[in-house]
Amino acid sequence: MTALSHLEALEAESIHIIREATAEATRPVLLYSIGKDSAVLLHLAQKAFFPAKPPFPMLHVDTTWKFREMIAFRDRRAKETGMELIVHTNEDGRKRGIVPFGETAGIYTDVMKTEALKQALDKYGFDVAFGGARRDEEKSRAKERVFSVRSEKHRWDPKNQRPEPWRLFNTRKQPGQSLRVFPLSNWTEADVWAYIEAENIPVVPLYFAAPRPVVERSGTLLMVDDDRLPLLPGERPQTRIVRFRTLGCYPLTGAVESRAASLKEIVAEMQGARTSERQGRLIDHDSAASMERKKQEGYF
Amino acid sequence: MSAALKRAELRANSAPEAEKVIAAANPSPPATRSLLRFITCGSVDDGKSTLIGRLLYDSQVLLDDQLEALRKDSKKSAHTGGEIDYSLLLDGLAAEREQGITIDVAYRYFSTPARAFIVADTPGHVQYTRNMATGASTADLAIILVDARKGVLEQTRRHCLIVSMLGVRHIVLAVNKMDLVGYSEQTFREIDQAFRMFALDNNFASLVSIPMSAKLGDNLRAHSAAMPWYTGPTLIEVLETAEPEAAASRLSARFPVQWVNRSGPDFRGFSGTLASGRLRPGDAVRALPSGQRANIARIVTFGGDLAEAVEGQAPTLVLDREIDVSRGDVLVADDGTARSGRRWSADLLWMSNTPLDGSRGLLLKIGARTVPVRLETAAMSVLDISTGARHTRATLGPNDIASLTLEADTPVVAERYTDSRMLGGFILIDRATSETVAMGLIKDPAPEPTGNHHADGVAKHTPIIAKFIAKPAETAWRSFAKAVSWRATGSIDTFVLAYLFTGHVKVAAAISGTEIITKIALYFAHERIWQRFAPGRVDKSN
């Protein structure tokens, strides 16, 4: 028999999950964060419902601090796929001047990401939200279910998760509860890149090495994407050849020096990598349990 | 598409030898490299998380920043006194690190040059057995750990039984913490024998016992100098060579429909995952439970139509005619081998902390079908883990294993679990709390209950009158045809008899001619009443 290859099996499993969640949802939504995992998720959603369009909108929680190239890419992909794009910003947080540095840095993620996401889910009444998180990203994610139940307040209760044997997903919810669904649970970072290469999936150009203006701040290379990032005394943007392994808010996302300018070179670089992708994320380093705490409070 | 995927994987495989060791850090299993899913299980504190942490560490899977975090966290850990605590790599929840135990199953991904692995680290506490069973449901191999100081415990038996029940075919008995018993061969032999005493009943394809120290790495990758008496394989050797269960099921095509795809007025397709067998355009299929027939017209995917779909693929099927198919129905090969029914015998693992008590409203989810279900709790055979004996009980508590009969409200398509994990495994959901309360395995279609069972209130509650009413087995048209044919025959007979008695052709013709009209009407009415009268009927629906 023609057994499926590893990537084919992962693809089929994800498509199965997406259809199952959609079939039982009242108002599903795809959380689109513009990064590589979202790109794969969007591609799989298109595959799951071909020749129809995916029967749900995309939601982007815009902190207003994303790289400009990300926003341009987002709008282009929405047009190409013909899917509805909903963009939500926590206007209250913006008015209060919450920014990812200085005094408000500590509450920035809570207000502009977690709060904003909860606002958007409540505003539109989404009961099932697809996310591109993978179990290999982080330890508390490794404990996450594919179908993860959230309370009325969007909280995750890691001690009380539903058993999920085989590929049988319990999609029932109590009134007020919602589901976060992670079709890429069993993918690794290397799988994601191998799949992007094989399927020729468009990704934000920031993943590819290019000369970019950066400053080095406590060991992290930050890209100066616009003039809103206040430079510290003595900091002067220099042009270096860098790329990003993950994409988020530009003042919180570290670049890596790299010459990998094509998908093939990225895949090759990945295989020699000695650090994990989340190392470039400044928010994960607060404490060992920081991701778990954020997730309990409703973060993705 | 699949060709492109395979090319990408082959490229990943063509890395020069020097890079291959590093490639283990970021597994991207090529088409030629097989995948093994395994779990670790055993009682609490037997060292499961430490074992996997050590495997990851030794396989150089860990990246620099993860190692740095591990060293930092280990200093705070009370369990190893500042030495590297490998379990911290797995126990990702704050509550787990605080208590030094594993609560929930964690999945990790790593590979060696020979193989890619997905490992599920499962909890040892009895109260989290459900998470252990979840990990076992997809595993090819199970490592059952035993603390050399404690030997075989009830939890060891329970785990052995559950992995056996869930179809895990390969077992490694890891006798751990040998360093704490002075590497005693005698201790190892005793535990090995005690385990084999009950494990041998379970029909495993292989069972290997290995003495080890997960913390120190003895007999994981290399043979331990401290145990020269052990000459069997190391753990990595077993993991790299165990044969995963043959991927293909022996069954013909079974395609549970997850989603009806209506793309515009002219397109109606059925999306799902092919649970077994293969399908080609032109193949005859039946939709179950309705039984309607059609042929496959197209196998649609994003990358173009397929000439054939195989087990595990998730395409959209287009049929050559309009038949009634909705989510939860199953398209099956039209070879008469698929079974659909309301009553099935099954094995059940009760996972809820609230006991089963018969009053709960339950839903059965199997394949893509979710239906209300009733368990025949009066005659459940519950397994006693410690003795292996079975007792009849009417309730189930957490982690109880029972054999019983279930009855769904409407027919479901199912297969024996040993033939198909996808159509033989099911879950039960509490309608009131939405909790997943049990997982189960289908065995066989169960017979209809006998009259006595009705008295227990166990079986279908039907009003007395309903027992006398049946659905007509024949159409009215057929009844009328029977009336005409019978009357024609009968009236010829009447004519002949009348002529013989009277000798008058005219009288005989008048009698039989009148009779033929009135008696057709009488016969028809008589026949239709009998058609609806249930007693004495032989039911051929099964």
Tokens of A36: 């590589």
Q: Which residues of A touch B8 (CB under 8 A)?
A: 7, 194-195, 197-198, 267
- Please report the pLDDT score of residue B28 as a whole number: 40
Give the pLDDT score at B21. Answer: 31
Q: Considering only CB atoms, which chain B residues are within 8 Å of A288?
A: 69, 73, 94, 97
Mark whether B108 and B39 lie in a shared domain.
yes
pLDDT for residue B458 is more than 70: no
Are A118 and A148 in the same domain? yes
Sign of the Cα torsion B530, B535, B537, B542 reads positive
- Regarding whether B264 and B403 lie in a shared domain, the answer is no
pLDDT band at B30 (very low <50, low <70, confident <90, very high): very low
In angstroms, the CA A206 to CA B108 distance is: 29
pTM over 0.90, yes/no: no
Residues A84 and A125 in one domain: yes
What average pLDDT is seen over chain A?
Answer: 88
Q: Is the pLDDT of residue B355 over 60?
A: yes
Does A184 share its domain with A79? yes
Q: Is B89's CB within 8 Å of A49's CB?
A: no
Which residue reads 């749900």 in tokens?
Answer: A56
- Predicted local distance difference test score (pLDDT) of residue B127: 73
* Test the B interface: residue of A152, A188, A192, A292 with most B CBs within 10 Å: A188
Is A268 exposed, middle or buried (CB count within 10 Å of its CB: 0-12, 13-18, 19+)?
Answer: middle
Instruction: Give the confidence band of B90 by pLDDT, cuts at 50, 70, 90.
Output: low
Which of B87, B89, B427 has the most A C-beta neighbours within 10 Å, making it the best mutation to test the interface with A?
Answer: B427
Cβ atoms of residues B78 and B70 within 8 Å? no
Q: Comparing B114 with B301, which gets the higher pLDDT? A: B301
Mean pLDDT of chain B: 82
Using a 10 angstrom Cβ sphere, with 0-12 exposed, 13-18 middle and 19 or more buried, the burial of residue B451 is exposed
pLDDT at residue number A269: 83
Report the pLDDT value the prediction gives residue B60, as an integer from 0 to 100: 65
CATH, residue A110: 3.40.50.620
Same domain? A46 vs A177? yes
Confidence (pLDDT) at A146: 93
Q: Is the pLDDT of residue B473 over 80?
A: no
Find the CATH number of the domain harbouring B104.
3.40.50.300
Find the domain containing B65 and state its range. Answer: 33-241
Distance in angstroms (rounded) separating the CA atoms of residues B12 and B22: 12
> Quick one: pLDDT at residue B15?
33
- Strand-pairing partners, residue A257, are A242
Question: Is A299's pLDDT higher than 90?
Answer: no
Beta carbons of B443 and B417 less than 8 angstroms apart: yes
A211 and A124 inside one domain: no
Distances (CA, A) of A206 to A202, B41, B81, B372: 12, 43, 44, 51
The number of folded domains in chain B is 4
Encode burial over A119-150: b for 16+ CB neighbours within 10 A, e otherwise.
Answer: bbbeeeebbbbbbbbbbbbbbbbbbbbbbbbb
Asked whether the predicted pLDDT for residue A73 surpasses 90, the reply is: yes
Are residues A117 and A232 both part of a single domain?
A: no
Best of A46, A128, A166 to substitute, by most chain B Cβ atoms within 10 angstroms, is A166
**Contact residues, chain A, for B259 at CB < 8 Å:** 19, 22-23, 49
Instruction: Indicate if B107 and B61 belong to the same structural domain.
Output: yes
pLDDT attached to residue A210: 96
Q: What is the pLDDT of residue B317?
A: 98
Say yes or no: B456 and B355 in one domain: yes
In angstroms, the Cα distances linking B224 to B149, B221, B245 are 19, 9, 30
Cβ-defined contact of A274 to B1 (cutoff 8 Å): no
Q: How far apart are CA B95 and CA B91, in angstroms?
A: 9
Residues A59 and A25 in one domain: yes
**Separation between Cα atoms, residue B392 and residue B118, nearest integer Å:** 39
In chain A, how many domains are there? Answer: 2
d(CA A176, CA A178): 7
CB contact under 8 A, B73 and A288: yes
Domain identity same for B328 and B347: no
Chain A closest CA to B258's CA: distance in Å?
6
- Do B231 and B95 belong to one domain? yes
The amino acid sitting at B107 is Y
% of chain A exceeding 70 in pLDDT: 90
* Residue where a domain terminates, one of B333, B365, B397: B333
Residue A227 and residue A185 share a domain: no
**Predicted pLDDT at B6:** 46
Note down the domain range covering A18.
6-191+289-296
Same domain, A245 and A126: no
Are both B482 and B369 inside the same structural domain? no
Q: What is the pLDDT of residue B121?
A: 83
Is residue A1 situated within a structural domain? no
In a domain, B57, yes or no: yes
Residue B494's identity, in one-letter code, is T
pLDDT for the residue numbered B476: 77
Average pLDDT of span B364-374? 96
CATH number of the domain bearing residue B347: 2.40.30.10
The token duo for B91 is: 């126990």
Same domain, residue pair A51 and A180: yes
The shortest C-alpha distance from B324 to chain A (Å) reads 18
pLDDT band at B210 (very low <50, low <70, confident <90, very high): very high
Total H helices, total E strands in chain B: 13, 22
Q: Choose one of B461, B493, B508: the last residue of a domain.
A: B461
Least trusted range by pLDDT, from A184-188, B90-94, B108-112: B90-94
Q: A13 to chain B nearest CA, in Å?
A: 8
Residue B162 lies in a domain: yes
Which whole number is the average pLDDT over A233-252? 91
Smallest Cα–Cα separation from B239: which of B388, B167, B139? B139
ipTM here: 0.90
For residue B342, pLDDT beyond 80: yes
**Per-residue model confidence as pLDDT tens digits over B170-201:** 999 999 999 999 999 999 999 999 999 888 77
In a domain, A198, yes or no: no
User: Of the residues B241, B264, B279, which one is the last residue of a structural domain?
Assistant: B241
User: Looking at the predicted structure, is the pLDDT value of residue B18 above 70?
Assistant: no
